[in-house]
Structure formats: C-alpha cells, structure tokens
Amino acid sequence: MGPLPRATHLVTGPVVLSLALLSVAPPTGARAPERLAARPAERPPAATPPSSELPEDTLERPLPLAIPAGLEVAFEKAGWEEAAAGSPLGLDADLVALGRALFFDPVLSRDGSVACASCHRPEASFADPRPRSVGVDGETTRNAPALVNRILGGSFMWDGRAATLEDQVLMPLANPVEMDLPADRAAARIAEDPAWTARFEAACGGPPTRDRLARALAAFVRALVQGDSPVDRFLAGEVAALTAEEEAGMWVFESRGKCWRCHNGANFSDERLHSTGVGARGGAPEEGRFAVTGEERDRGRFKTPTLRGLAHSAPYMHDGSLATLEEVVEFYRRGGEPHGTKSPLMEPLELTDADARNLVAFLRALTPR
C-alpha cells in the first residue's frame, strides 16, 4: 500500500492507521507498579536491537497538528473554539516533536530493548499486531490498543485507571512487565545525554524531569488524529463514498446490530467500560476494572475502544483473542460469553449472514483508504 493521502491527517507513512505498551495492564493478581516494594536492579541499556525489531518512524514531517474532516462535531463538543476541519489542534510543535522522538526510542525501557512504538506500531493503527504485547521480559497479558484520537479521550488504559494522558503515558514505563523503567529513573538517564537535555531545554524550558517527560509523550499522542474515512465523506454528503454493502452495513450498525449503544459519537466510542465476556473462562470474568476499584460489579469491565483505523489494528479486544473483524461480529452476534457480571446490553443479535458481511464492510470503511 502506498502513502496515505495527506488529507486523512493520519500521521502514518506507508500504511494507515480504542502506550510502548501505553495501555497494557499488569498480569492478573499483580500489584500496580507504584505499589511494588522491590524492583529488579536496573541494567544499562543494551545495544539498539536490529531495525526489524524497532518500528521505523514513517510519519509525516512535520505532523499536520490540525483537526481532520469528520471530527468537527467531536472537537466542538470537547470545547474547541475553532473546530472546523483544518483548524489547529492547539499543540506545541516543539513539544510534539520531542514526544515523537521519545516514542520511537528504546531509551525509555530498562534494558533498551523496547520503545513505545514497539507495541503501538504506525503500520498497525498504532496498535500491536501481536495478540499479546511484549515487554522487556516477554509477553504481557494485554494487546496494546490503537492510539487514534486519544486527544478526545475521557479515560485511559483498558481498565480506565488513568484520568489523563499525562498519567497514562508514564504507567507503561513503571510497569515491570512492560518497560520497567519508572519515569524518574528514565528522566535521569535521559539527562545524562547532552543532546536529549538540549531538546528538553528547547521544548520544555528545562532539563528532563518526570513531568516534562509526561508532557512530551502526551503531546505526541494527542497529535495522532484520524478522520476523513469513507464513512465521514458519506455523512458529509458524498453518497458515492460508500459501496452498497458498506451503506447496508451502516444501517445494521445503527439498527438491529445495536453497535451504536457503546460505539457512538464521532470517535465511535462512549469512553465507558463494559463487561462483554471477552476473556471470561468457565463463567468467570477477568478482573478488568475490578483491579482498580475493588468493586465486584466492575469485574470483567473494559474500556470501549474507538473503531477508527479498525481495518489495520487486528487482532481485536483487550486480550487480542479475536483475529478478524468477522470473528468480532460473530462474538457479538451470539451475545458474548456468559458470566456473572455481563452487561445487560449484551444479548444475542438477530443478524443474517448478509447483515454480518455488510457490517464488517462498514467497519472497514471507518479507516481511510
């Protein structure tokens, strides 16, 4: 596939586009990183792995930093005074550039083997094409989700434990199964390099610190915006933007498919947490939000991801358990997996095979082509 049309404002290069594991929770039963009493001794960064193991930065230079078509209403509701397509996102270009450099550099991991981009890959909608993302010591329990349009997010991480992007981008650094280098130590390491220090001075007005590291990474993630999909163009009046199958799928999405109940708004996510049965075994759900609140009603609840960029962000669900969109539709078609805290919104769907095919076609049309 060739480079994206510039108008998409999806800032990937050779492939288009709900952090290094910027959304991966600790394994079930593990304590949150900030509560760990002891940590393994920090090892010096290893030599940079071969380029095949670290994603190349294929993003536009510079990034557009503008609102893409199709998200005008979402940005207006989020409080932007100028929400027309092409209006500025209000991000500092130097801070975004610093966050971008950090995002692709393995310096933020304990042994220098993992970068943020290792699990949020540009060619995979800034998600992870592996079912389970891999940290410094091997496989984790989560699939890193796409980072598209997190500037519009209301909460972060699969279990919603982070209230802001600044909080969220530092959690994978501290998590021992992800990057295992807490932000204070990461900042101290970076400060030993005069080149990094100069970049922080220019973009942040001071040397590397935990807070400045968070600001830079969060600014970059906010710059990863996507709109102008065939669905956006259809809704704007370009009736030929969707095929007949895709248009029929949109009707299924908005009617008997009942997808709109959770995947709503311009970003196709209600930003809430629901228990669908993904990951449930023998009637027992995963912890999900329970790991944060300790409330039984939150067992199995995970955050609704965006559907934008979906054509390239397989596999799906928080555990990467569904390999294709066809499998996703079949999961919802049968009403999810039974367990004690399953959402009442989850019920078998009366869809024909044609409905299911059309719905998959519509979901793919939420990605620019």
**What structural domains does the chain harbor?**
6-222 (1.10.760.10), 240-364 (1.10.760.10)
Q: 71-75, 116-120, 249-253, 329-333: lowest mean pLDDT where?
A: 71-75
Element (H, E) at 189: helix 183-191
Backbone dihedral region for residue 64 (phi beyond 0: left; psi -120 to 50: alpha; all else: beta): alpha
pLDDT of residue 305: 95
pLDDT for 238 beyond 90: yes
List the one residue out of 16, 224, 225, 215 whose CA is nearest residue 102: 215
Q: In this predicted model, what pLDDT tens digit does every residue of 279-317 receive, in sequence order?
A: 998 889 999 999 999 999 999 999 999 999 999 999 999
Buried b (16+ CB within 10 A) or exposed e, 214-230: bbbbbbbbbbbbbbbbb
Task: Yes or no: say if 302 and 368 are a contact pair by the CB < 8 Å rule.
Answer: no
List the one residue out of 119, 96, 98, 107 whose CA is nearest residue 11: 96
E-only strand ranges, 56-171: 134-135, 138-139
> Do β-strands 301-303 and 273-275 pair in parallel, antiparallel, or remain unpaired?
antiparallel
pLDDT for 33 beyond 80: no
pLDDT of residue 21: 30
Q: What percent of the chain has a predicted confidence (pLDDT) above 90?
A: 80
Q: In this predicted model, what pLDDT tens digit does every residue of 152-170 receive, in sequence order?
A: 999 999 999 999 999 999 9
Q: 8-22, 102-116, 155-169: lowest mean pLDDT where?
A: 8-22
Q: What is the pLDDT averaged over residues 46-58?
A: 60
pLDDT of residue 7: 33
pLDDT of residue 266: 87
